Amino acid sequence: MTRLFQDSVFMMPHLGVLSTVHEKAAWEIFEKDCLVKLGTVIAPRGARKLGEEALSVTLEMSDGETINETLAIGDVKRIPLDEGKEAQAIIEPRRGLDVGEGPGHRLQTTVAGGVVGLVLDARGRPLVLPEDNSEREAKLLEWFTALSLYPEDLLKKFQRPTKNSMN
């Protein structure tokens, strides 16, 4: 599990210098103006075959809503969770995968939101892409769409028709 932040305007190096003469001011600026909270990524460590079930996640949102997700190896999913919001998470990796408590052991924790929200990433490491060009393109488009990396209308321009969409 990793919390992601972005240095909003490349301020950290300058705050490091400021901290040598005015530590309190540097810290206040750092906390309030420097970092953009992007969210939390849950990415199990370990290996399984592409398509095999990787993990299930149960989220108890701050508004009382419960979200249940199950991902297979090769899947990635983004769940909106605004900055300043948290959710209680129960993460259950399958045999051989580890989310911080040892392979196959569940983790109960709090996850924090941000601009991106919560990312469930079961793609595995290293990333393995299909050898076939059209399958590789389809998998990349699937990931780009799941993470809202580009506007949907732009991604649709790159989608190739599938056998099912031609019927």
DSSP string across 115-165: SSEEEEE-STTTT---SSHHHHHHHHHHHHHHTT-S-HHHHHHHPPPPTGG
Is the confidence at residue 163, as pLDDT, over 60? no
Write the DSSP symbol of residue 166. Answer: G
* Rounded average pLDDT over 138-155: 90
- Tell me, what's the pLDDT at 141? 92
Q: Could you read off the pLDDT of 5-43 as tens digits, one per residue?
A: 998 888 889 999 999 999 999 999 888 888 889 999 999
- Tell me, what's the pLDDT at 10? 86
Is the confidence at residue 167, as pLDDT, over 70? no
Count CA within 13 A, CB hemisphere, residue 71: 27
**CA angle in degrees (0–180, nearest 5) for 60-66-69:** 100
Cis peptide before 126 (omega within 30 of 0): yes
- Tell me, what's the pLDDT at 109? 97
Is the confidence at residue 148, as pLDDT, over 70? yes
pTM for the whole thing? 0.83
Helices (H), 20-132: 23-29
Average pLDDT, the chain: 90
Report the alpha-carbon distance of residue 130 to residue 108 in Å, rounded: 33
**Out of 46-55, 69-78, 122-131, least confident range:** 122-131
Is the confidence at residue 166, as pLDDT, over 70? no
- Tell me, what's the pLDDT at 162? 58
